[in-house]
């Protein structure tokens, strides 16, 4: 048995280096590529919706007659107007500075649930006998 401490140190050093070579290498992360900025939000199409968007519930009732559904959840309000042609859901929220809730979004559909053009539904509701 060799009692030379230098030789034993070399043996342990070589053993440690050999074991270190067995450890898998961590792959380098891929270089960061600059990403494109998110697209700008498109403005809500309002053509034909001028009598609805930005209006209060009172204005809608004056325009279309009584709502068939009036539901509230917190500060939000949903009015639903029906005609033989379509169903219009108007969503009202208070403006940022406070005040009476106004319509910020509308959905329209046919009575069977299929999608319908919102402006066409607004026009159909305006022609109902109950309107005005």
Parallel, antiparallel or unpaired: strands 87-93 and 102-109: antiparallel
Asked whether residue 1 is domain-assigned, the answer is no
Please check whether residue 70 lies inside any domain of the structure.
Answer: yes
Give me the domain span that covers residue 89.
Answer: 57-126
Residue 83 lies in a domain: yes
| 97 is a domain residue | yes
Q: Round to whole Å and give the CA distance between 106 and 19.
A: 68
pLDDT in tens, 10-61: 666 666 666 666 666 777 777 777 766 655 554 556 667 988 999 999 999 9
**Number of domains, the chain:** 1
The more confidently predicted of residues 37 and 124 is 124
Confidence band for 98, pLDDT divided at 50, 70 and 90: confident
Q: Cβ(121)–Cβ(108) under 8 Å?
A: yes
Q: For residue 21, is it within any domain?
A: no
Query: For residues 87 and 125, what is the distance between their CA atoms, to the nearest angstrom?
Result: 9
């Amino acid at each position: 048995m060799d009692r030379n401490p230098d030789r034993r140190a070399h043996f342990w050093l070589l053993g440690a280096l050999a074991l270190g070579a067995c450890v898998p290498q961590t792959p380098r992360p891929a270089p960061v590529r600059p990403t494109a900025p998110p697209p700008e939000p498109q403005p809500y199409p309002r053509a034909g919706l001028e009598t609805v968007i930005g209006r209060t519930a009172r204005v809608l009732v004056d325009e279309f007659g009584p709502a068939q559904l009036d539901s509230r959840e917190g500060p939000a309000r949903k009015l639903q107007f029906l005609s033989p042609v379509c169903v219009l859901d108007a969503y009202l929220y208070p403006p940022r500075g406070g005040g009476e809730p106004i319509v910020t979004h509308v959905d329209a559909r046919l009575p069977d649930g299929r999608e319908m053009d919102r402006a066409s539904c607004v026009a159909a509701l305006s022609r109902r006998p109950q309107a005005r």
